[in-house]
Structure 1
Amino acid sequence: MGDFNLTPQQPANGFTVLELFCGGGLGAIGFKAAGYDIVKALDFDKNAVKAYRHNFGQYVEQADINEIEIDSLPDTDVIFGGPPCQDFSVAGKGAGADGERGKLVWRYLEIIERKQPKAFVFENVKGLITKRHRPTFDALIEKFNEIGYEIEWKALSAWDYGVAQKRERVFIVGIRKDLRFTFEFPKPLEGDYQTRVLRDVIGDLPDVSSYYYRHPRNYDRRGVFGIDEVSPTVRTVNRPMPPGYPGHPKDAHLQNHTDRHYWMPKSEYTYGQANRVQSLDKPSNTIPAHHNSGQPIHPTEAPRRFTVRECLRIQSAPDSYVLPDDISLSAQYRIVGNGIASRVAWYIGRALADQLRFKSKA
């Protein structure tokens, strides 16, 4: 219990990383476990930066990439991260790369062009390769080529890589042309391909409501709290923490998994296409960034949404990753839902490091 981890630590690989649009660090979990040294991470969102700092330390900075001096950024072997997906999936507006936020994509290109890392990894929503956005996507690939990178891209499903979630994302990997090779996407390891289901990743977590009743003294009595309220502070008394109390080292898996860490609809759901009760014997639908519509619903405790810890596990983040309780529940969900599935980042990071080591002709 409490040592869930799908990103085993690899030895240091000697490569440095600048992480842009780092979010709360779910992708960083994978890259660090793959052996990289992340020297700088940036994001615009203050809650995401707070979560990242809480888990990884001070090298993260809250900054607007449009404002930052490119020369002030460190030179690294790899640049990791893709601009927020809203740029390309502006619902119904079709603004795409011309939208206000779409400028970030061109700014990202400018940073790569100036910094000339050996490689970059860009992750984005699958909407990027749909018919409507395909011209933008092709233009982007063309630009990457022009600034000196050999490009390979692929739409990957997290479920193919040992994650209990049908999450499809587009990954673009660019290798600087003087290294004279093209990235090859990794094949799933033995036993990873479409095998992991919800039971494997959340099956050992206690039922949240019964947990509350077993330890009522440890909790503020307010029960489930409003989505934008900061969760009430857990009241501790001056005595050693009993096992079974979130924060006890043995019970890392209970952090972010209490009756204050899930969203319950105010009225009955209409269980449509979007609000689907999940099955323990299948992977989850995509974990989204918003809390209140289009939710995968807990298989046995409907109508509640998955707790934040359950969402983290479905995103393949280890129990050692914790979201601080002074971040509102809606922001916690957003951080987890916007993240890159940690194990997918781990796979790509490992493959990239191996190829940079053994294929580079420079």
Structure 2
Amino acid sequence: MKDKYKVCSLFAGIGGIDLAFQQAGFEIVWANEIDEDACKTYRYNFPDTVLAECDIRKIGADDIPDFDILTAGFPCQSFSVCGNKKGFADERGNIFFEIMRISDAKKPKIIFLENVANLTEHDNGKTFNRIHNELSERDYYIRYLIADACNYGIPQHRTRTYIVAFKDYEMCTGFRFPEEQPLKKHIFDIIDRSVNAEDKFYLLENSVQYQKMKDTITDENQIYRFSDYGIQKSKDGISFTLKANMGTWYNRVPIIKDNFGIRTITPQECLALQGFPKSFAFPDIPMKSIYKQCGNTVAVPLVNSIAKQISKCILYKR
């Protein structure tokens, strides 16, 4: 992209959104994240990007360089069906207004937001209406999509709400979310069962977990995990949603049977199911943090396809 549009990334996590926009030709000029281990992973993979490691509420707008696009995968627990669903009554939900504060000061041309699918339904739609109104009152024109990653070529059920807001009306009317595409790859087109993983990922044969899984795994082309309702099994070779609680409860990490035994999938396999490239890696941080980060990030190819559509609008406008 000639004269690259500059991106400011809030709540960057390990940089899934940033990677997607970078792949689409945008330049990430500044990012913010509060989680210490996530910052280590971010810096490990984005050494040239300025990363502010602190609470966004402690950052003044003057501390942020000028940019064209603001991206934010803002905290979702307060809106998620798996969370407490307190929304704006939750301190994490109110973080959304920090996005507006920075937008007021920097006036980006485009805002990209990502959150859980339940965002549009939360509090009978009042939460989403508030977000929509906050943007429209600032003269943004809005498009949004609720999309499952498996409908965009990624073998994982991961339904999220994507919001793109434009200052320019013509740019907004010309924007189209990417078309759905048939799923050509399934779980074991990505995970290689013929490669022996490290011993630490295999369940011990004398463990209760191993015995339960051994009795449950009837289809070796699916992926399994322990859940609140027993053992969960995937369908059609598509992974269930990878969750951040993989870092809190190790037994929530998905499990497969490979050529060598029964094991949890590795962090790199989690990233692969999120569409990350093999070159993306983790520094020396606790394994629980690594799995949490894998579940907290985004399906990169889907965000990338949206970023490419944004790029088309920019080029057309020029």
Query: Quick check: TM above 0.5?
Result: yes
Shift in alpha-carbon separation, 1:302–1:21, aligned structure 2, 3 A: farther
Q: 1:73: Cα distance to partner?
A: 1.0
* Contact 1:88/1:133, CA 8 A, preserved across alignment: no
Return closer, same or farther for 1:289/1:86 CA change in 2, 3 Å cut-off: same
Q: Hey, what's the Cα distance between the residues in 2 that align with 1:267 and 1:144?
A: 52
1:45 is matched with which residue: 35, 39, 44? 35
- The aligned runs of 1:19-98 (5 Å cut-off) are 19-58=9-48, 59-89=50-80, 93-98=84-89
Contact 1:15 1:37 in 2 (8 A): yes
Matched with 1:350 is 308
CA RMSD of aligned residues (A): 2.6
Whether the aligned pair in 2 keeps the contact of 1:97 and 1:136 (CA below 8 Å) is yes
- Distance in 2, Cα, partners of 1:165 & 1:352: 24
Name the CA distance, whole Å, in 2 between partners of 1:316 and 1:49.
20
Question: In the alignment, does 2:178 pair up with 1:186?
Answer: yes
Q: Contact 2:152–2:302 (CA<8 Å) still a contact in 1? A: yes
* 1:319 paired to 2:309: no
Contact 1:201/1:314, CA 8 A, preserved across alignment: yes
Per-residue deviation at 1:101? 1.5
2:238 aligned with 1:283, yes or no? Answer: yes
Q: Alpha-carbon deviation of 1:40?
A: 0.6
**Higher RCO (CA < 8 A, seq sep 6+):** 1
Q: Determine the C-alpha separation between the residues in 1 that align with 2:68 and 2:193.
A: 40
Structure 1 CA distance for aligned equivalents of residues 121 and 262 of structure 2: 33
TM-score (norm 1): 0.74
Aligned residues: 296
Q: How far did 1:114 drift?
A: 2.1
3-state DSSP of counterpart to 2:105:
helix
Unaligned runs of 5+ in 2: 214-225
Q: Displacement of 1:295 after TM fit?
A: 4.3
- Give the direction of change, closer, same or farther, for the CA distance of 1:205–1:146 in structure 2 (3 Å limit): farther
1:196, distance to aligned residue in structure 2 (A): 2.2
CA–CA distance in structure 2, aligned partners of residues 100 and 359 of structure 1? 39
**Cα separation, partners in 2 of 1:305 and 1:151, compared to 1, 3 Å:** same
Classify the secondary structure of the residue corresponding to 1:172. Answer: strand
1:105 maps to a residue whose letter is: F
Query: How does the TM-score come out when normalised to structure 2?
Result: 0.84
CA distance in 1, matches of 2:193, 2:72: 32
Contact 1:158–1:344 (8 Å) recurs in 2: yes
Out of 184, 187, 195, the position equivalent to 1:198 is 187
Identity of aligned residues (%): 30
Greater strand proportion = 2
Q: For residues 183-213 of structure 1, what are the alpha-carbon distances to aligned partners after superposition, in whole Å with 9 as ceiling and x for unaligned?
A: 321114xxx42332112211366131xxx5x
- One-letter amino acid of the structure 2 residue matched with residue 286 of structure 1: T
Gap regions ≥5 residues in structure 1: 1-10, 213-222, 225-258
